[in-house]
A and B are shown apart, each in its own frame.
Chain A
Amino acid sequence: QLQLQESGPGLVKPSETLSLTCTVSGGSISSSSSYWGWIRQSPGKGLEWIGSIYYSGSTYYNPSLKSRVTVSVDRSKNQFSLKLSSVTAADTAVYYCASPRAIFGVVPFWGQGTMVTVSS
């Protein structure tokens, strides 16, 4: 059974870069046809896709966040990462890593989620 676990700072200052890592166990991040992604949940915006990466390395980003988002894979560590730059209070949310069945598709596997607060 695939398991995902987020890690990273719980507090980020405004204008800085939010960085999170997701460690995958129970499966290989390089498995063919596998997708990996990030979803966030805030009281104001609900559940929102941030970005997704295909096993080949192709990335797909939410257009509303595209200019600030980078999703990447570290195959040697079986991890993938999220970087969100120039954060504001509006980026305060619970961030989930996920393994969807397609780019921004159905999500059978989720991490437990990590709360990130943007505040000085």
Chain B
Amino acid sequence: DIQMTQSPSTLSASVGDRVTITCRASQSTSSWLAWYQQKPGKAPKLLIHKASSLESGVPSRFSGSGSGTEFTLTISSLQPDDFATYYCQQYNSLLGTFGQGTKVEIK
């Protein structure tokens, strides 16, 4: 299986901050990488697929980049609704695997 490692595990930030989360794959996933946002008690919500394609309805302050084994999710100006846990998922291999999550908390 392809292992996905996110960093940091926890991130403390303030409203208006620019936030970057990194996801590294144990082997190349090309651009087959998605990002999700999850709030407590809720299912994950798909934000980005194919590394940089924004899902319909997702605010443009979210962006994704990268290819191969290193990817980033950037929130250009953190909003109160963005405090949540973020997960990456590779879907290049037959068995899609998720990162362990990055919790974005209020500083």
Query: Quick one: CB contact mask for B33-49 with A, threshold 8 Å, 1 for yes?
Result: 01010000011111001
State A111–B42 Cα separation when bound (angstroms).
Answer: 9
State A48–B95 Cα separation when bound (angstroms).
Answer: 9
Assess the A110–B43 pair: CB atoms within 8 A: yes
B contact residues around A105 at 8 Å (CB):
91, 96
| B105 on interface, CB distance cutoff 8 Å | no
| Minimum C-beta distance from A116 to chain B (A) | 15
Assess the B46–A49 pair: CB atoms within 8 A: no
Which of B89, B99, B100 counts the most A-chain CB atoms under 10 A from its CB?
B89
Q: How many chain-A residues does the 8 Å CB contact rule pick out?
A: 21
Assess the A108–B43 pair: CB atoms within 8 A: no
Query: Quick one: CB contact mask for B3-35 with A, threshold 8 Å, 1 for yes?
Result: 000000000000000000000000000000010
State A100–B43 Cα separation when bound (angstroms).
Answer: 14
Assess the B43–A113 pair: CB atoms within 8 A: yes
Q: How many chain-B residues does the 8 Å CB contact rule pick out?
A: 20
Assess the A47–B87 pair: CB atoms within 8 A: yes
State A110–B37 Cα separation when bound (angstroms).
Answer: 12
Assess the A49–B43 pair: CB atoms within 8 A: no
| A82 on interface, CB distance cutoff 8 Å | no
Assess the B101–A46 pair: CB atoms within 8 A: yes
Task: Using CB atoms and an 8 Å cutoff, list the residues of chain B in contact with chain A.
Answer: 34, 36, 42-46, 49, 55, 87, 89, 91, 94-101
Given contacts A46-B101, A96-B43, 7 further A-B contacts (CB under 8 A): A62-B95, A101-B49, A105-B96, A106-B49, A107-B46, A107-B89, A112-B43
Task: Using CB atoms and an 8 Å cutoff, list the residues of chain A in contact with chain B.
Answer: 46-49, 60, 62-63, 96, 100-108, 110-113
Contact sample, A vs B, 27 pairs, CB 8 Å cutoff: A46-B99, A46-B100, A46-B101, A47-B44, A47-B89, A47-B98, A48-B98, A49-B96, A60-B94, A101-B49, A102-B91, A104-B91, A104-B94, A104-B95, A105-B96, A106-B89, A106-B91, A107-B36, A107-B89, A108-B46, A108-B55, A110-B43, A110-B44, A110-B45, A112-B42, A112-B43, A113-B42
